[in-house]
Amino acid sequence: MDHVIEIKKLSKQFGKTTALKEVEFSVHKGEVVGLLGANGAGKSTLLQILVGLIPPTSGEVKILGKDVQKDPLFVKKHVGLLFGSDTGLYHRLTAYENIAYFAEFYGVTKEVYEKRIKEWAEVLQLTPHLHKQASELSKGNHQKVTILRTLIHDPDIILLDEPTTGLDIAASLSFQDMLKEIKFRGKTIIFSTHIMEEVEALCSQVVILQKGAVSYQGTLTELYNKMQTKNLTAIMRKVIGGTQNESDLVNF
Ligand SMILES: Nc1ncnc2c1ncn2[C@@H]1O[C@H](COP(=O)(O)OP(=O)(O)OP(=O)(O)O)[C@@H](O)[C@H]1O
């Protein structure tokens, strides 16, 4: 299949607030897409619609060819979602128990999840911490547990909403290595972030949202060429700060 995510004319209203306006873009398998935009641009709303947590007002989202609204169980099986600030771990359970609990919720057998936890814990350098209570974990390791939990049902598509919120530099860099490894294993990733170094280090594609509408989708190289600079922070400052004419980016 060509595109694993297809979004067509997707709009979302919250009362009088237009959170998303006719958003359209597609993502190929194995891409890492950076979802960028100012506070309130619509990034979290878009990710929540992609995983079926909230319904769109109009438009269509297909995951691996299936309509998210019509086939929620299919989406649950194939998509993992992680919200940065709300890790939702049970503090009294160990890291391992937290992941196992989630795995069982997803119907993953013990035999399978034991193997996956072992393998991913090695990749994420989490093995020595697996049997510590969640409350004893550092922020970085806490986040690794939530990532491992997101991967436990082996989703093809992983959506991460500001996943490095609250992490220090070392933990953020370790997170970047983790994403590279996840990408290497053929997963498709969309993650929202305000940290441009992460985008430069990881993303093959970027989507920029401005007031709920897509103002750019494409490769970083194309964006650099278009904006005549390789400084992504400066590009975003222009776009978000409004000194860039929106029409310069729209329909790129
Ligand atoms: N449940 C809701 N009810 C009402 N308005 C909402 C709701 N969720 C989001 N909004 C509004 O929709 C718009 C888009 O919000 P969203 O959280 O998607 O933006 P964002 O790009 O993720 O922002 P941030 O970078 O601050 O996380 C904002 O104006 C927000 O106030």
Ligand 1 atom with the smallest distance to the CA of 41 is: 21
Give me ligand 1 centre to Cα 18, in Å: 9
Residue 34 in domain: yes
Point out the ligand 1 atom lying closest to the alpha carbon of residue 194.
25
Q: What is the CATH number of the domain that holds 197?
A: 3.40.50.300
On whether residue 69 sits in a domain, the answer given is yes
Strands 157-161 and 213-219: unpaired
- Measured from CB, residues less than 6 Å from any atom of ligand 1 are 14, 17, 19, 37, 39-45
pLDDT at 243 over 60: no
Collapsed DSSP state (helix, strand, coil) of residue 135: helix
Distance 122 CA to ligand 1 centre (A): 36
In this structure, which residue's CA is closest to atom 9 in ligand 1?
45
Helix (H) or strand (E) holding 22: strand 17-28
Q: Is residue 103 part of a domain?
A: no
Calpha distance 143→159 (Å, rounded): 14
Binning pLDDT at 50, 70 and 90, where does residue 82 land? confident
Q: Is residue 116 situated within a structural domain?
A: no
**Average pLDDT, rounded, for the chain:** 89
Respond yes or no on whether ipTM tops 0.95.
yes
Number of domains in the chain: 1
Tally of CA atoms within 13 A in the half-sphere of 167 that contains its CB: 24
Contact 215, 250 (CB under 8 A): yes
**Structural domain includes residue 175:** yes
Q: Angle at the Cα of 240 (from 234 to 246), degrees rounded to 5?
A: 100
- Testing ligand 1's pocket by substitution, the residue of 35, 36, 44 carrying the most ligand atoms inside 8 A of its CB is 44
Q: What percent of the chain has pLDDT over 70?
A: 93
Is residue 52 domain-resident? yes
- The pLDDT tens digits of the residues spanning 7-47 come to 999 999 999 999 999 999 999 999 999 999 999 999 999 99
Query: Across-strand partners of 10?
Result: 23
Evaluate whether residue 106 is within a structural domain. Answer: no
User: Which range of residues forms the domain containing residue 58?
Assistant: 3-84+158-249
Pick from 244, 122, 107: nearest CA to 181: 122
Residue 134 covered by a domain: no
- Other beta carbons within 10 angstroms of residue 89's beta carbon come to 23
